[in-house]
Structure 1
């Protein structure tokens, strides 16, 4: 996944990996776009309430959160990247202060 996101390869957007936000470590974050991408393994199936609480917190911090299962990333990376591009296109224009922060 990192190879697909690094170097502004998706819609020219910069992503960082393993970014701390509050008490959480987020898999992939674009501060400029306000997008967090979480890749979940099987262990997350049992923790949907915890994931929902985490997502609510991150959204309150101004981020949009999208999630993918590991098997989707491993088996359909092109489809996952297309979904990320669609999510980026649907987001409002970047916040200028956040853009400077993520540059």
Structure 2
């Protein structure tokens, strides 16, 4: 897994052979808030399913955020999220990527 940060937006990429996931989160601090998930166009030709939707990854992102905030005793929030339409459909990986992004945010001064 590889995580990068630019201006408070973190991108995590996880590629393990036939599965691949990218999650981009704009992170802040404060009171919980609603956030939009943008579904980016498919990358490449592969197809694992009919396509990821924002509705199916939002619960995983919220769960990963809650876990990370509890572990860190923090108040991180997600302002926006992006996924790729043809990435692997695995709820657990989006929870994991969210936790890892929040852990990285805890090490990075946010703007």
Q: Given the two structures, how large is their TM-score scaled by the length of structure 1?
A: 0.31
Q: Given the two structures, how large is their TM-score scaled by the length of structure 2?
A: 0.29
- Of the two structures, which has the highest relative contact order with CA contacts closer than 8 Å and spacing of 6 or more? 2
Report which of the two has the higher share of helix: 1
